[in-house]
Chains A and B, each alone.
Chain A
Amino acid sequence: MKIHEYQAKELFARYGVPVPRGRVAATPAEARAIAQELGGKAVIKAQIHAGGRGKGRIVAPEEAPAMYRSLLSDPAAHEGQVRGPRVGGVRLVDSPEEAEREAANILGKVLVSIQTGPEGKPVRRVLVEEQSSVVREYYFSIIVDGATASPLILASSEGGQEIEVVARRNPDAIVRLPVNPAAGYQPYIGRVLAARLGFADPDLSAQLAKLAEGLYRCAVDNDASLVEVNPLVVTADGRLLALDAKFNLDDNALFRRQDLAALRDREQEDPLEVRAQELGIANYIKLEGNIGCIVNGAGLAMATMDVIKLAGGEPANFLDIGTVNDAQRVVNAIRVILEDPSVKAILINIFGGMARVDIIAQGVIEAFRQMEIRVPIVMRLVGTNLAEGEALLREAGISVIRAAELGEAAEKVVEAARAAAAS
């Protein structure tokens, strides 16, 4: 789960991590008042759950898809500018009046960047902060690394750009320091970081160590799957400052982080994905094709998409229905898929282990009762309680296309989708 930059900064600040002075504003008038408090000069930052904000573009919602396509085709032509012609989601202002004006130009609009997807993300809040005169930019993050089963600190002296690009172009520029989870953060980590990032000033090195320890504690205290500061900057007056802030919460830990769970901003998420979650389908991802997929298990769900593509089709979604033990979840999954207007055919591929085939069959039968289903459904059912499921389907006499094997199921659904699209 993601939270906004301003929320991440508030959280970081509680762990002694230095962040720029400033506050969040929901109206142009609030932005003006905050800029006034900051002495007039400020930076206005659109708050959305996606990166690339500075190089993105503020547009009206209906302009978003076209802008997205144009950003993808030539991102360089759309470099946002913080000064001069103002197009992006991050803008420098010199007075409270200008702050009000620029906030008014941003709030209520949509920010499109190469990371937002074609719909862009709605901007409901702006962060109004003091301007910082930046001398150097660094990158800092903490994630959990599967290979070493430990929190891992990543840092680079090449900050302010996408870290994937740095990783590809110059992997040696990234410092990787696993933290022994039993021992926790130790002071040597700060010393090694400072040395590897080339910090010469002992005062700055001490600030870096304090920041690293604060962010480590913030990550482990709050079940972060990611904390990231990009850029982490050194200012002209010799201060280390988290100019940007990102915090992702481990979804598996939501149950014990109610305070953070309350920060969820569903408006920033894909509407169909939110709808799926409301209906108890946690693992739904909207894709571009026209074949709806309902599968149990993430691996089989991906393999099902692979085999559909190999058969010449395009999946409309990834949907792992999980361990289904109530028929209603199956009804809901079918409902979510049918709410996607691009779906022309559905493939239900269930290999029951913990999930029971008879429950899936019940759900499909119930869906036919509750809804008018106009698209063809191909069903391939195998595994736990298959015989019971088969019996239920025979009795109900619903119209579905059956397949016994994975390859066969894919071919049948691709054909059904083609026929439906043609008619």
Chain B
Amino acid sequence: MLKEKLLIVDDQDDLRKMLRLALGYGKYKLFEAADGETALAIARAEKPDVILLDVMMPGKLDGIAVCRAIKADPELAGCFVLMLTARGQASDYASGDAAGADAYMVKPFSPTKLVEVVEMRTRLDKPVRGYGF
């Protein structure tokens, strides 16, 4: 059986490491990107099942733009996009929603909860706050 593909997009090395550890070795086929352009390129090439997407990233494409592009691509639209952000304002969720994100988690978040959301593909109509359990 083929492993599910999961793409981690965050400009911070430590955070990517933490997500990597949380998701466990060998369970998923993991891809990583530190900026929007790389993330979009990997997504188009690998067609991942899940994308963990940081909102605030340097470069031309931030997380919202990447999400919008993925959801606009018919080949990628089915992929489960979980937005990660350090900003917790209502306007931010709204823009994530508009971009078609499936779920939204606010930093700091519980890695356990994140793994649960990813495994269950839980569509969160409300953002998960820091201590989201």
Bound pair (A, B): no
Q: Residues on B close to A: CB < 8 A?
A: none
Q: Residues on A close to B: CB < 8 A?
A: none
